[in-house]
Amino acid sequence: MSMQMTEQGLLALARFEGLVPAPYLDTTGTWTFGIGHTGAAGAPDPRTMPRGMPDDLDTATRSAFHLFRSDLARYEADVRSAVKVPLEPHEFDALVSFHYNTLWTSPAWQGQCRRHRLLDATIYAAC
């Protein structure tokens, strides 16, 4: 089975990102929903979602976590593809979290990684 973020990794990233079960403008002025979901990640597009807090917060929170898990699948796949060394689960969690926030598997970041050695030896070996 392919490596996925652990439950602890998911919760740590969710805690860092924060959860808002309604559309909101983030610090960059981007419409966001749930745990960092933007229209760039696909449906639903927070720009077109109804405004205001939902009446059923439990359902909205569950929906936000399901969407977060779905969004993370792309980042997990990117990390699995980019990393050529074995990883411990906590290392995989850290790389997915890092990628989620920096897009480190992009060609621009890869060049920075090689030139400046911004990462520690374990992560640098993966670049």
Say how many residues make up the chain: 127
Greater confidence, 3 or 122? 3
H or E segment and range at residue 77: helix 57-82
Report the pLDDT value the prediction gives residue 68, as an integer from 0 to 100: 95
Among residues 42, 109, 55, the alpha carbon closest in space to that of 78 is found at 109
The residue written with tokens 């411990």 in the block is 88
Report the pLDDT value the prediction gives residue 118, as an integer from 0 to 100: 41
Q: What is the rounded CA–CA span in Å between residue 14 and residue 37?
A: 11
Res. 21 pLDDT band, cuts 50 70 90 = very high
Q: Kindly indicate whether the domain formed by 7-126 is annotated with CATH number 1.10.275.10.
A: no
What does the DSSP 8-state code read for residue 51?
A: P
Whether residue 6 is predicted with pLDDT greater than 60 in this model: the reply is yes
